[in-house]
Amino acid sequence: MMPSIDGIIVLIIIAIVIVIGIKGYKMKESLSGFFLADKGLGSWILAFSLMATYFSAASFLGGGGATYLYNLGFGAWLTAWHIIGVVLMWILIGKRLFKYASRTGIVSIPDFIENRYESRIAKIIAALVIILLFTLYLTSVYKGGAIVLATLLGTSFEIGLLLLAIPVLIYIVVGGFRAAALTNLFLGLLMLFSAFLVCAFIMNAVGGPLNGLERLSQMKIANSIPGSLWLKFDGMGPPPAMNAGMVPLLIMSVTFSISMAQLALPSLLMQFYAAKNEKVISRGRIIGPILVALYAFTMFSLGAFCHLIIDDKIGANGVVSLLRDTDWVIPRTVDLIAPLGIKGLILASPVAASMSTLAVVLIVLSAALTKDIIKTISPKLNEDKLLIIARISPILFAVVSLVLTLIQTGIIVEIVGAAFGTIFACFLGPVTIGLYWKGATKIGAIASMLSGLIVGLAWYIFIYKSSSTAIAWIYPVIPALAISLPIFIIASLFTRKPSKEVLERLG
């Protein structure tokens, strides 16, 4: 068990997050107020909210620890794709989506799909896809935060889950998205500070990056694996992928899936609706990518260097165990090298960042259920009752995803990749391309979402890693996109075009 001072620090930070969230309660008693913070976000709050939503403990543990197993090419490509993805999101989507939302009064991404394609069926399908895939994604957020809490407080994983979920539910039920966005400004700063600290401590412990690379190349991992494999793009990775010669393809498809999903993630895109004005997004185009780049450069290659710090302390069997579940690499390394107090501050940050992601995703799920399904099925239901459902439904989703977390066995980076990749395949055509292409149709959107969902999940469950053949190591996002995007285009070309009113709203 870690010293109590570190536990006290993490509990203080969690308390601060709750206080900020509750103090931020100034919304109107309306669905728009609850889900969009009365459309009053400035550039810094929006940029930090997007960054904190996207980077939770899943990035701190999954991204930070992944190169303990994968070679350093994984960290390099994960960083590169993240920067490309966030730049494209802010430049291509942010302002255009904000303008569309301002003209139409939409509240959610399924709202956009209904308005853009004049189809309630498409809207309900989009909402169901969001509920299914984001509930799966929440297992990675829960797992990441609970692992850190369990390590920091010396408690069980199950208690860590409760300590993570309950504070979030308190402030989002009270304050909605405004509370989440305000806390994200604090949490984003904390996450960046934590990333700089852990990077500095690890680099100091290994004698700097160049010395660390040299030492890594000369060591034997678990008394048998050449450390030089971590310096080769076609080197270290999951043993079955190495045997099939598929490590580079696996790395590229996983990193692409996680990073480029920014272009179509409803939990990110919906936040652009809440900007105060267009100037907010223009300034955010500079702030947002810088925040993501700083965090990615700092965190995503640290796992490989952790071999130099912890391997001789845990023995060959301990190394083999960590290679199977790399999510514990960063917490255990920090536990060894960081001093009292600083240790708690570092490990509190990803917990708090998990809270921010959990809050926004629960709000997105609440919007999908309340606004996009219940209100669509029962249009006469008054707004007061809908607002009550909107406040209660996050509790339901929190409990469901918590139960799934307890039975989920995959490591964080794979859960995130599977969920993000499938969401990306489902919404890239209907939302991202549909913002620009006036020829996109209702049938194309529905066919794209359904085919992306079916292929993405079926590939992950039945094919991915199922054998040593090359095709089994293609990450699900690649076949899902290869099917859903052509279907979106072909179906749109041969089905009835949208009305003149729809095309005018696109601008």
DSSP assignment of 254-319 equals HHHHHHHGGGT-HHHHHHHTTBSSHHHHHHHHHHHHHHHHHHHHHHTTHHHHHHHHHHHHHHHHHH
Residue type, 216: L
Which amino acid is located at 32 in the chain? S
pLDDT at position 381 is: 85
Number of neighbouring beta carbons within 10 Å of residue 339: 8
Side-chain-facing half-sphere of 224: CA atoms under 13 Å: 6
CB-based burial of residue 505 (10 Å sphere; 0-12 exposed, 13-18 middle, 19+ buried)? middle
CA-CA-CA-CA torsion sign (332, 333, 338, 342)? negative
Residues 251-267 pLDDT 10s? 888 888 888 888 988 98
**In angstroms, rounded to a whole number, what is the distance separating the alpha carbons of residues 82 and 283?**
19
In angstroms, rounded to a whole number, what is the distance separating the alpha carbons of residues 269 and 108? 9
Q: What is the pLDDT of residue 1?
A: 47
Task: List the Cα angle 145/161/266 in 5-degree steps.
Answer: 60
Cα distances (angstroms) measured from residue 429 to each of 392, 446, 481, 503: 32, 10, 9, 16
Q: Is the pTM of this model over 0.85?
A: yes
Q: Give whole-number Cα distances, 7 to 149, 165, 348, 354, in Å.
A: 9, 17, 9, 17
Give CA–CA dist 143/138, Å, rounded: 8
What is each CA distance from 230 to 234, 252, 305, in whole angstroms? 9, 16, 10
Tell me how many degrees the CA angle 369-387-48 measures, rounded to the nearest 5.
75
Predicted local confidence at residue 86, as pLDDT: 94
506 vs 135: CA distance, rounded Å: 31
Q: 475's torsion region: left (phi>0), alpha (psi -120 to 50) or beta? A: beta
**Distance between CA atoms of residues 486 and 225, nearest Å:** 43
Task: Quote the CA–CA distance of 148 and 408 in Å, as a whole number.
Answer: 17
For position 146, what pLDDT does the model report? 81
List the pLDDT tens digit at each of the 507 positions of the chain.
444 788 788 888 888 888 877 776 665 566 677 777 778 889 999 999 899 888 876 688 778 888 999 999 999 999 999 999 999 999 999 999 999 998 998 888 999 999 999 999 999 999 999 998 888 888 877 877 787 787 777 788 888 888 888 888 887 777 677 777 878 888 888 889 989 999 999 999 999 999 999 999 999 998 889 999 999 998 998 887 888 788 898 888 888 888 888 898 898 999 999 899 999 999 999 999 999 999 999 999 999 999 999 999 988 888 888 888 887 898 889 888 988 888 888 887 778 778 878 888 888 898 899 988 998 888 888 888 888 888 888 888 888 888 888 876 555 556 666 777 788 899 999 999 999 999 999 999 999 999 999 998 888 878 876 666 667 677 788 899 999 999 999 999 999 988 888 888 887
Cβ-contact 183, 366 below 8 angstroms: no
Question: Which domains does the chain possess?
Answer: 4-20+41-506 (1.20.1730.10)
